[in-house]
């Protein structure tokens, strides 16, 4: 298995090498996703790859100068993410008493407009479903499960056969912070899953979704994301399709049908209702439009 939390480059300063590696391992221990950890690792390798000085003595001016020189043409959101990564690293060092104060300043962070979730409308959902039907039964089941359960891609990746109750159309998933919750899925999804499981050899402890190369190999997060990206492209969607858009679509559909935010929060496994309030930012006319698209 690829040790994605391990540094792939040797940094000029050995103290930086040691502490950055320590930080990345803490992210792995905290159950941060592979995608998140790899993003952190790549940026920190780039940043500290240019620093011969220790992280503990780098000045705010030196850090800001590097950030501005290497900003290029990236959007404010990408620039803020770089700042978030450095801020997280230095907060970790502060909590571990490796430094006395963080050199990262809040005034550096650009103000971003409050995001509105990107979801699929009824037409795009139909296109993706139709396209999936031209592919493996496994892919059809993945699409239907994600659209009707609202699960994160990491939660889908971790599912085992024993976690799925086809009769009651529920699945036990492990969310962020290893919190376990039950999610629901559609009758069509149950049919697809039943057919998929009949097609392949299985044991109760086996991964639910496998690679097509071998019966015992769990489909990776990257693999699921690539399947969905290809389906979106083949379906002719105007923008790239990512797994999280299925989650946004699920929540938006519930909202359009009149579900309370507290219910949506429980279904999505949000630890804080504040996280779910992103869907309350949809303008009323969009909510009405969505209701008509989904309900007629």
Residues identified as active-site: 152, 176, 244, 247, 270, 279
* Angstrom distances, CA of residue 55 to CA of 12, 27, 37, 129: 11, 18, 19, 49
Q: Is 150 left (phi over 0), alpha (psi -120 to 50) or beta?
A: left
The set of residues, in sequence order, having a beta carbon less than 8 Å from that of 7 and lying 6+ positions away, is 17, 20, 21, 24, 41, 45
Distance of CA 39 to the CA centre of its chain: 12
* Residues 141, 147, 148: CA angle, nearest 5 degrees: 90
Strands (E), 212-272: none
CB 176 within 8 A of CB 271: yes
């Amino acid at each position: 298995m690829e040790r994605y939390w391990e540094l792939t480059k040797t940094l000029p300063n050995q103290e930086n090498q040691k502490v950055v590696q320590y930080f990345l391992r803490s992210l792995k221990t905290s159950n941060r996703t592979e995608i998140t950890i790899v993003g952190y690792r790549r940026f920190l390798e780039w940043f500290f790859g240019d620093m011969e000085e220790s992280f503990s003595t780098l000045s705010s001016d030196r850090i800001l100068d590097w950030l501005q020189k290497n900003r290029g043409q990236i959007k404010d959101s990408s620039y803020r993410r770089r700042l978030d990564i450095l801020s997280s690293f230095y907060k970790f060092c502060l909590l571990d008493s490796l430094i006395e104060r963080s050199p990262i300043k809040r005034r550096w962070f650009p103000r971003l407009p409050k995001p509105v979730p990107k979801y699929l409308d009824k037409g795009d959902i139909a296109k993706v479903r139709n396209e999936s039907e031209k592919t493996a039964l496994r892919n059809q089941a993945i699409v239907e499960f994600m659209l009707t359960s609202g699960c994160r891609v990491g939660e889908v990746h971790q599912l085992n056969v024993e976690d799925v109750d086809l009769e009651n159309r529920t699945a036990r998933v492990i969310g962020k912070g290893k919190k376990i919750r039950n999610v629901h899925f559609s009758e069509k999804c149950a049919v697809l899953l039943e057919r998929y499981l009949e097609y392949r050899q299985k044991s109760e402890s086996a991964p639910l979704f496998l690679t097509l190369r071998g019966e015992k190999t769990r489909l990776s997060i990257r693999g699921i994301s690539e399947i969905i990206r290809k389906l979106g492209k083949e379906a002719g969607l105007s923008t790239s399709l990512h797994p999280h858009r299925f989650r946004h679509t699920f929540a938006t559909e519930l909202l359009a049908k009149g579900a309370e935010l507290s219910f949506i929060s429980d279904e999505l496994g949000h630890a804080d209702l504040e996280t779910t309030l992103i869907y309350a930012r949809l303008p009323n006319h969009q909510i009405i439009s969505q209701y008509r698209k989904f309900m007629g």
